Structures are given as C-alpha cells and as structure tokens.
Amino acid sequence: MYITNDPDVAKIAQQAGVDRIFVDMEYIGKDLRQKNMDTVQNRHSLDDIRILRSVLEQSELLVRCNPIHKASEEYSSSAEEIDGIIENGADIIMLPYFKTPQEVEIFVELVANRAKTMLLFETLEAIECIDDILQIDGIDELYIGLNDLSLGYGKKFMFELLSDGTVEQIIEKFKIKNLPYGFGGLACIDGGLLPGSNVVIEHYRLGSSRVILSRSFCDTKKVNDRNKIRQTFFTQIQRIRELEAFCREQNNDFFNENKLEIIEKIKHIKENL
C-alpha cells in the first residue's frame, strides 16, 4: 500500500505493481498525539478520492477516514464523511485510533457493506478489548499501526513492538478471526533503520499479507523527477517481490534466525537513539 493523492504518482505505483493506493483523510487529533514524532500527517480530501478513482484500474483504492466523531464547526460527522468516501469510489475504508468495540460497531454500521472495512489497531485501549472487537461482524481486514501503538507503550522505536513480542501476541488474536492482516511500514529492501529485508521476512514468519510502503520508500516531497520516481518504484517493488518469492521457499530455521537478527538490530538501534 502506498500513500499518495498525486494521480501521476498513483499511476506509476500501480504500473509497478503496488496493490493499493492509500488516500489518508485522517487528521482529527493526530497532530497533538504525534507532535514530537517525525511522522507524515496528510490532509487528503474527497476530491483526491474522486481523482484517484478515475486513474486506478488494477490497484484498489484504500481510504483512511477520521476516528469516529460527531459534527462540529470544523468538520462533518463520521456518517457524512464515510458516505462521501464511498460515493467518491473507495474500495476499502480504514478506521484509525478507535478505543472501544462501540466505535467499531458504529463504523461497520456506517459503511453498511458498501466497501470493505479495515481496522487499524493503534491504541492500548483497543488492544485491551481486542477479543470483544474481533467478535463484531462486518470486519474484513486488520492492521497494526506501529507509530501510535509504540507511543502508547512508551517505546523509543516503533519496531520495538516486533522485538518484544507485542506484534506477535496481537497477531495470534488475529489468526483466530481468520481475516487478512498486516502491520507497520516498509522502507526499501536496504533502507530504514531496521532494513526492509528483515521486515519483509518477519511479515512472512508472522503470516502478514499487507504492508504500507513508508515515506522513506519514495518521498515524493523530496524527489520531483518523475523518471526517478518511476525507477524507484519499479526497481524496489521488483526487489520486494523477489524476496517474497524467496521467502516462500524457506523453512522455519530461516525465519527464526531473522527474528533473532531483528532483536539484536533493534537493541543496537535503541542504544543509539
């Protein structure tokens, strides 16, 4: 999954084999809770959904809405927002920063089977009542958001939740539900504080089938040359696919060795933060 509201970049990503283009409309409360983090805070719109819908033929269109909220002078209600997202062509809607089963029930009712639903688990409160949440009908996909969840756990580095077993414990709950799931972000195969290659292999060990390509994968705010963007996508997506094919042929020893390598690398990263 790649986050963008630029139709030209979306077409390049689609041609390179990105499965989903991600429109990010979430902003309510996000600036406050992530104010000390170097995170991306988008303000995409319903117009962005409509424009991207017109250029996407193979890739699905995923939209992250705002957390469940009532109307105010600054923004419309969740009901109006979700109606607009669906009317403009979203295939999947992601609900962020929920804390209770009731919020998830409202979300599912508002979507009303008009699009697929994806839950973004990124609060301690949601993890604490995960069993109740996963019993709700109408959920199609599950995702673990490492940025906010690592804040909640007081971690210095978001991938600490991989090395300390938190992600794996949550995924064991997901497996009972028998729905597709994913977690975190992915840089280039050789990029990121924790190399993308280690992350991809861990996704396979944990049975994850989706991941968000991070800002560092291709930061189009820093790289404006469309040829360079195209080269990055085609080269790096191919490398990911090749590693995926390699992972499918490996045994448990290979994945366990990678897990131990991740633990050691994260320990070293923490010491230098």
Q: How many domains does the chain have?
A: 1
**pLDDT computed for residue 27 by the predictor:** 93
CATH of the domain at 254: 3.20.20.60
SS3 content of the chain, % helix, strand, coil (to 5): 50, 15, 40
Q: Are 68 and 40 in contact (CB under 8 A)?
A: no
Q: What is the pLDDT of residue 34?
A: 53
Which structural domain, as residue segments, surrounds residue 238? 2-271
Contacts (Cβ under 8 Å, ≥6 apart) of 157: 150, 193, 266, 269, 270, 273
Model pLDDT, residue 221: 87
User: Nearest to residue 2, comparing CAs of 146, 193, 200, 217?
Assistant: 217
List of residues 6+ apart from 174 with CB closer than 8 A: 134, 142, 181
Give residue 154's pLDDT: 96
- pLDDT at position 43 is 81
Q: What is the reported pLDDT for 36?
A: 55
Tens-level pLDDT at each residue, the chain (273 residues):
999 999 999 999 999 999 999 999 999 987 665 555 555 657 899 999 999 999 999 999 999 999 999 999 989 999 999 999 999 999 999 999 999 999 999 999 999 999 999 999 999 999 999 999 999 999 999 999 999 999 999 999 999 999 999 999 999 999 999 999 999 999 999 988 999 999 999 999 999 999 999 988 999 989 989 999 999 999 999 999 999 999 999 999 999 999 999 999 999 999 988
Question: What pLDDT was estimated at residue 32?
Answer: 66
- Residue reference for tokens 């963008």: 4
d(CA 11, CA 18): 10
